[in-house]
Amino acid sequence: MSKIILYAPNVHVGGGRVLLENILEAWPEDCPFHGFLDSRAVNLPIPFNSFISWVNASVISRFTSDYRLSRYAREGDVVICFNNLPPLFKCPGKIVVYMQNRNLIEAISLREFAAFTALRLVFERLVARLFRYRVSEYIVQTPSCKRCLASWYANLSSNKNPIISVIPFVKPLQFAGTPSSNDFVVNWDFVYVADGLGQKNHKRLFDAWLHLAGEGIFPLLALTLCETETELLHIVDSMKRQGIKVENLGRLTHQEIVNVYQHSGALIYPSIRESFGLPLVEASQLDLPILASELDYVYDVCKPVDTFDPNSARSIARAVKRHLNVIEKLPKVNSPEGFLDQIFAMVNKDVVE
């Protein structure tokens, strides 16, 4: 009998973890679950009648798990690679790659990433490119990600068009009320739910908060950075010493993140690249106002109340001021006569001096 095998090593935190939980919770009871799961992904809702191989966080364990997968799968099986990559070893059955990481398929510099992360991305890009011929179908979450993947594939293989399906999914949030309800208190003016990867653009967001502080505007920003993001946390500490209102809540459970949404005035999302943007979807479900980058991935999943240029801290700051109903003073536009009056006044001043 054919089976579906979910291959998900290295999926244990963030949006990938949330989507993995969604799949496991929705798995039909009459269908045995066959999975290769990350050993760090504790407290997963494991389906009844499961056959699981746990994968440790080491190169040897990952390599061995790929080999075990090649021996475990049979003709007629469907292998869903939830880790963005095709198998290292030839694997019977249909290989479906669920692509959730645009860093693997976009021609971007890796200088914005930490050294270890950049090295891992170099290796994963190589695997994605070398073994793409093993993939029967790709699944992505948004139309913009589909275009990105199609362009990447076309640049590598001019004689083959891959099957790319757009199948976004997320479990509806369980909540009581909305952030606008009288029962809820706004503890944070803005929240940014994101890890510290380079494309998340935290430094430019911090620059925007510095611009606002320079104008005497001090909205409270909540972040969800983990303790390993030392460089960003040092910047946060420096900003707090300057009186800028920013609070790092640390790594949160998904339910804790939902609670933060419900006590925030708006979601701000300056990320430069996203395959999905789960916080955007969740904020939309909660009717939480969204200020986000003026990029395609945003419009794929939500309707922001305002947008900005993610490469400009001033643009981000201006969007924040618009949302806070802060009127921005514009420079006076002179008439030609007024301009000449100022020029002549400068000349007369120089003559007197």
pLDDT tens readout for residues 239-250: 999 999 999 999
pLDDT tens readout for residues 196-245: 988 999 999 999 999 999 999 999 999 999 998 999 999 999 999 999 99
pLDDT of residue 349: 66
Least confident window among 31-40, 83-92, 284-293, 337-346:
337-346
> Do both 156 and 14 map to the same domain?
yes
- Across the range 300-322, mean pLDDT stands at 96
> Do both 17 and 146 map to the same domain?
yes
Pairing of strands 78-81, 4-8: parallel
- Cα–Cα distance measured from residue 308 to residue 310, given in angstroms and rounded to the nearest whole number: 6
Taking 60 as the threshold, does the pLDDT of residue 292 lie above it? yes
Taking 60 as the threshold, does the pLDDT of residue 289 lie above it? yes
> Do both 203 and 272 map to the same domain?
yes
Task: Tell me which H or E stretch contains 96.
Answer: strand 94-98
Q: In the beta sheet, which residues pair with residue 241?
A: none
- Asked whether the CA dihedral 66, 71, 72, 77 is positive or negative, the reply is positive
- Cα–Cα distance measured from residue 159 to residue 327, given in angstroms and rounded to the nearest whole number: 56
> Do both 8 and 149 map to the same domain?
yes
71: domain CATH number is 3.40.50
Instruction: Tell me the CB-side half-sphere exposure of residue 77, using CA atoms within 13 A.
Output: 22
- Across the range 124-144, mean pLDDT stands at 94
Integer-rounded Cα radius of gyration of the chain: 25
Torsion of CA 75, 77, 80, 83, to 10 degrees: -50
- Cα–Cα distance measured from residue 212 to residue 268, given in angstroms and rounded to the nearest whole number: 15
pLDDT of residue 113: 81
> Do both 35 and 160 map to the same domain?
yes
Domain count, the chain: 2
288: domain CATH number is 3.40.50.2000
Sheet hosting strand 221-223, strand order edge to edge: 246-248, 221-223, 190-192, 267-269, 290-293, 306-308
Ramachandran angles phi, psi of 237, nearest 5°: -60, -40
Residue 123: which of 64, 68, 131 has the closest Cα? 131
Taking 90 as the threshold, does the pLDDT of residue 321 lie above it? yes
Ramachandran angles phi, psi of 56, nearest 5°: -80, 165
- Across the range 31-43, mean pLDDT stands at 94
Which range scores top for mean pLDDT: 178-182, 276-280, 343-347? 276-280
Q: Name the percent of the chain lying above pLDDT 70.
A: 95
Taking 80 as the threshold, does the pLDDT of residue 174 lie above it? no
- Cα–Cα distance measured from residue 78 to residue 69, given in angstroms and rounded to the nearest whole number: 12
Per-residue confidence band for 179, with pLDDT thresholds at 50, 70 and 90: very low
The domain of 13 spans 4-166
Predicted TM-score of the model (pTM) = 0.83
Answer whether residue 16 is part of any domain. Answer: yes
